[in-house]
Amino acid sequence: MPYPVPIPGSAAARLIEAATRRFEAEGREQVNVVEVAREAGVTTGALYHHFGSKDGLYLVIREEMERRITERMEGAAAALGGEGPAAIQAALLVAFDAAVRFGVTRMLSETVVDPANDVIRLTLRPMVSDEAGAPPVLAAAWRGALGAMADGMSADEARRGLIWVLGDRQ
């Protein structure tokens, strides 16, 4: 069940905002809950009350970002018939652009917690009707482009790299 949208300015909303910045800047493993709570202006007890743990907070943010991105992917693919190379490329490029715009490239480049329920891979599956092995490879290429940005590559350069991997089919 998705986490309910917190009231703007509430402790939960401030924790989500602070944690998103921290997870993006430092990566999941490096984030310290004391620093997140301090930045949000709350106690660590508030973090544990609302999210249970650092991982719980991370999953709330990641799942929301993935939901927003997969909605955009589905829309882009549908505009091009819903399947095939052009729909796949459009979906992944829209997803890339959304991750950049939302400021979550590092977060979404990180390994998924449950590969069987990788929502990017599951969103790609109906677009690739004839090749079962393609969705995980395509999702990995997308995450690789996001990871290159997290490692310092410009968004334009990483996007061009993703286009090259996908092949220019538009």
Single-letter code of the amino acid located at 80: L
CA distance 112 to 32: 20
pLDDT of 23 > 80? The answer is yes
Average pLDDT over residues 11-29: 90
| Residue extents of the structural domains in the chain | 11-58, 64-166
Least reliable range by pLDDT among 47-56, 59-68, 126-135: 126-135
pLDDT of 81 > 80? The answer is yes
Quote the pTM value. Answer: 0.86
Neighbouring C-alpha atoms within 13 Å toward the C-beta of 36: 33
Least reliable range by pLDDT among 5-14, 31-40, 61-70, 85-94: 5-14
Of the CATH numbers 1.20.1260.10, 1.10.10.60, 3.50.50.60, 1.10.287.470, which one belongs to the domain with range 11-58?
A: 1.10.10.60
Which two tokens mark 148?
A: 């290159």
Helix ranges restricted to H, the chain: 11-26, 33-40, 44-51, 54-79, 85-102, 105-109, 119-124, 134-150, 155-166
Position 28 confidence tier, pLDDT thresholds 50, 70, 90: confident
